Structure 1
Amino acid sequence: MSDRPVFVIGCPRSGTTMLQLMLHSHPRLAVPPETRFLVPVYYRRRTWGDMRQAQRRRALAQWIATDRSTKFRELKLDKDEFIEQVVDGPGSLGSVFGTAFRMYADRFDKARWGDKRPSYVKQVDMLLRLFPDAQFIHLIRDGRDCVASLKEMPWYTLDSFHAVSTWAEAIDAGGKLRRTLPEDTYYELRYEDLTDDPETELKKLCHFLDEDYSPSMVSPREAASVAVPQHKVWHRNTHGEVTRSRVGSWANRLDDWEISICEHILGDRLESMGYELTGAQKPSKEHIAASQKTMQKRKASRMRKGMRDRLNRLREPGPVAALLTSGQRAAAGVPRQRSELTESV
């Protein structure tokens, strides 16, 4: 049976929370609420030092468990037990993260863990450094619906041009992953297909994950009370049955100029993903220029961040890859444990 980590990725507001709950409803998978420690710690890993040193592991585990920015409290784990398990565990950065997620899975007596954060779609390279055996599920939704939904979020403070860029970046990142990752590592599905026929799509998804399909995945309402914090009122739809009520609702939620800019900037991407265009009139030169400027600024920011990370990789403070699952240990050349040998017979 597989013990590979599973990451749910995609554009924000594409239905990733619904998919998280479907996966969490599986008897062997646990996918927690979003945390906020993996990405910031990775990019500040030189500050935390060599995780082969127990005192360094302890310091990092204490920060993860106690700093309010990390959302560790939403995992509902015992802080002291987490810290001790990290100190007693393997000496690598990924192992520190993986210990938190593994303990979350243990809460529900489940064999595998996952994590959901839409922006991970642009950070898969980083995640594979941390978890070399990871699997990725990219949920894709009509970009116009994503833009419309982003505009309405209390936490989204950017304009429509940024929302358009966010979807374009997710689709472009997915295209690169589709071309470069093995078939057993990267999987795409559309929100519209998932909500139209959940059972069929989830059976295919379980095949990708090397898991038996469970009917409980189709109705994940019960999981919402566990895996969706109450304060996230924008996820209230996840507490009901799977619905298609929001499919195509962008037509009534976007202004005409926004539809025009979506179809002008995203048109080729939308059609490549099977979405039909309305033939909206060409947007104004001002809107086109503003959209292009936004996309260029965001691209430049990503390139600067990527360059800094490449430099940091030349002077790693210690091992990065996790050493917790059978695949992770195999990738590192660690001898197989007795339990693994027994399972393979």
Structure 2
Amino acid sequence: MTGPGPDSPILIIGTERSGSNLLRLILDAHSRITIPHPPHFMRFLAPLARSYGDLGDARNRARAVGDALGLLRRHIHPWPHQVEAGRIIADPAGPGLFGIVAAIYEQHRAAVGKARWGCKSTFMVDHVADVLGVFPDARFVWLVRDPCDVASSAKRAVFGPSHPYRMAQLWRAQQESAQAALDTWGPGVVHLLRYEDLVSNPEEEVGRLCDFLGEKPEPAMLKHHTSAAARQTAGLAGAWRKAGQPVSADRIGAGRRGLNTRERLWVDKVAGPVKQSLGYPVDPRAGTTRAPGALSVALRSVQLRARIEYRSMREDDNHRARLSRDVYIRWLRLKALVRGGFRPSARGTVPAARRGSA
């Protein structure tokens, strides 16, 4: 396995609420790397890809570029620079939808004057092959966190399924996809990083990560919280407040505080084998725990979501932007249905526009 190309992109994959904003800001603080907060282009546009037709055709490509830039304009975490649609239509970075996405990121990279761009949309775990088809030297950081802690965070955040049982289902599916990528392309392409190790031993883990990426560690990476990017992130939403703080291990074990016993057992019932394979303990009672009924999950999800939205409306500066984005996503899906070729998400848990994305 050869090392990464000097300018190859970096993608953080896994599951939201696993510390991806922390890792994004650590890497973004490097003098050669820029990782803007993601509009989740592939997450929202990949199900529409067939409706665009052949993206080798300039008219079809223009339609896809227009939809992608519409997402960017409604992004819950604004980018600092304008992206020129004409340049992408005339010369995308590669074939297919990801070629368009890559061209958008490339314009951002050029605007900020860094050598490499990265993407922290953890949903890219489902598009590893697409990325490697355009950038064979791309590198993926599989960031994983104890699913009970993930579910505890999601229970109170606007991003991700709020019900622990649903969050566990999504966590299991995404870790299985990440494991398949690691098995297929190997540790030279996919680097497994546990959130708990990152926050407990940041200097060591950042050093190992830089070795994987072919970069030299820089002191600024562990002072990420002092950057303008961290301050901007921390000020936009309650779920991101810790972005403006130093690396801390105080959120390890959050599931013991944020979930009740039954909820933790539900998570372990769903995620148990995968959780155990990644070095996390599983409660032996989980196997005999009764799964919640579908109606119970649905009703509890509505209750949790109502609380979350009320709190977000009061506390989050980007609340209206998120609602505008979600309306826009539904509009894109309606247009795709009219054109033909809309393919709903294969995840089958909760529609993306309702469950949100960080």
Q: TM-score range by the shorter chain?
A: 0.7 to 0.9
2: CA distance, partners of 1:48 / 1:214? 43
Is the Cα–Cα contact under 8 Å of residues 30 and 114 in structure 1 kept in the other structure? yes
Identity score, percent: 25
2: CA distance, partners of 1:161 / 1:144? 10
1:273 aligns with 2:278: yes
Shift of 1:148: 1.0
Match of 1:245 in 2: 250
Match of 2:91 in 1: 89
2: CA distance, partners of 1:159 / 1:122? 22
SS of the residue aligned with 2:242? helix
Counterpart selection for 2:221 from 209, 217, 222 = 217
Is the Cα–Cα contact under 8 Å of residues 21 and 220 in structure 1 kept in the other structure? yes
* CA RMSD in angstroms, aligned pairs only: 3.1
Shift in alpha-carbon separation, 1:26–1:159, aligned structure 2, 3 A: same
2: CA distance, partners of 1:265 / 1:44? 30
1:203 aligns with 2:247: no
Is the Cα–Cα contact under 8 Å of residues 37 and 70 in structure 1 kept in the other structure? no
Q: Tell me which structure has the larger Cα radius of gyration.
A: 1
Counterpart selection for 1:30 from 29, 34, 48 = 34
1: CA distance, partners of 2:229 / 2:108? 15
1: CA distance, partners of 2:262 / 2:287? 9
Per-residue CA deviation, residues 225-267 of structure 1 (Å, 9 max, x unaligned), is 4773743320111111011111012112111111222233333
Q: How does 1:1-345 map to 2 (within 5 A)?
A: 2-66=6-70, 71=75, 74-79=78-83, 82-90=84-92, 92-93=95-96, 94-156=98-160, 158-221=162-225, 222-225=227-230, 228=233, 230-280=235-285, 283-287=288-292, 302=346
Match of 1:327 in 2: none
1: CA distance, partners of 2:21 / 2:200? 17
Amino acid aligned to 1:47: S
Amino acid aligned to 1:97: V
SS of the residue aligned with 1:9? strand
Shift of 1:157: 5.0
Deviates more, 1:174-183 or 1:106-115: 174-183
TM-score w.r.t. length of structure 2: 0.73
2: CA distance, partners of 1:240 / 1:149? 17
2: CA distance, partners of 1:153 / 1:88? 39
Shift in alpha-carbon separation, 1:229–1:63, aligned structure 2, 3 A: farther
2: CA distance, partners of 1:145 / 1:180? 28
1: CA distance, partners of 2:46 / 2:345? 18
Deviates more, 1:172-181 or 1:236-245: 172-181
Is the Cα–Cα contact under 8 Å of residues 8 and 138 in structure 2 kept in the other structure? yes
1: CA distance, partners of 2:95 / 2:74? 19
Shift of 1:215: 1.7
Is the Cα–Cα contact under 8 Å of residues 139 and 191 in structure 1 kept in the other structure? yes
Shift of 1:68: 6.5
Shift in alpha-carbon separation, 1:193–1:55, aligned structure 2, 3 A: same
Unaligned 5+ residue runs, structure 2? 299-343, 349-358
Shift of 1:103: 1.5
Amino acid aligned to 1:245: D
Shift in alpha-carbon separation, 1:263–1:77, aligned structure 2, 3 A: same
SS of the residue aligned with 2:191? strand
Amino acid aligned to 1:13: R
Per-residue CA deviation, residues 193-214 of structure 1 (Å, 9 max, x unaligned), is 1001111111111111111111
Deviates more, 1:195-204 or 1:99-108: 99-108
Shift in alpha-carbon separation, 1:182–1:16, aligned structure 2, 3 A: same
Shift of 1:67: 5.0
Shift in alpha-carbon separation, 1:264–1:69, aligned structure 2, 3 A: same
Amino acid aligned to 1:302: A
Give the length in aligned residue pairs.
296
SS of the residue aligned with 1:75? coil
Amino acid aligned to 1:92: P
Is the Cα–Cα contact under 8 Å of residues 74 and 229 in structure 1 kept in the other structure? no
SS of the residue aligned with 1:285? coil
Shift of 1:282: 5.6
